[in-house]
Amino acid sequence: MSANETKLAAYQSEYIDLAYQWDILRFGGPFTLKSGRKSPYFFNAGLFNSGLKLQKMAECYANRIVDSGVEFDVLFGPAYKGIPLVAATAMALAKDHGRDVQFCFNRKEAKTHGEGGNLVGAPLKGRVLVVDDVITAGTAINEAVDIINAQPNAKLEAVVIALDRQERASEDSPESAIMQVEKRLGVKVYSVVTLDQIIQYMERTRGDDARKDIDSMVAYRERYGTRS
């Protein structure tokens, strides 16, 4: 096992396998990313878009949260993608781990009638764990932090996301967007899986049958990967 490899938990292997089966994890490309880079693979977490798919995704998030050991008081899902994800993850934590945790999400537009405001669910207070799909430029997490910081008794504790692509945020930076967020906010970002783990899983399960895809991911990682 190389220095970059980490042992894959059973839920991580299942996560990658299902993502591949359901065409959420796609190979072949090139796929043009927001950065303009041409990637040989594409991971679209938005395609966890059925009851079973969302259930499986949430189970993996819940397992990653428990594995991380992070302590928190409330889950927060940023609108819009984080809304179904935070609710499903809370359900998975209760069902599979016996942890009945509170969750909260925001509206993009504040409600002007009834209870008003832009937060829905449990009170946003104490140690907050943000549940979201990806971190690219960090814009979405910045918005979530602003919401959390606006609450007098809330503090961002950590973030959990679907995938760490492990690539530099820009050509001028040795760090990924995730590393930059961690440094700027002083919190840990946990990912369900990383690119290294996808490569490891593909090598182990498909080997020479997927040699072209594996080699293209390795080459992409060598060209754009973080330097630490």
Active-site amino acid positions? 111, 113
If phi > 0 it is left, if psi is from -120 to 50 it is alpha, else beta; for residue 128 that is beta
Q: Which two tokens stand for residue 213?
A: 């895809």
d(CA 64, CA 60): 6
DSSP 135-163: -SSSHHHHHHHHHHHTSTTEEEEEEEEEE
Q: What SS3 class is residue 95?
A: helix
Asked if residue 162 lies in contact with residue 57, where contact means CB atoms within 8 angstroms, the answer is yes
- For residues 195 and 173, the answer to whether their CB atoms sit within 8 Å is no
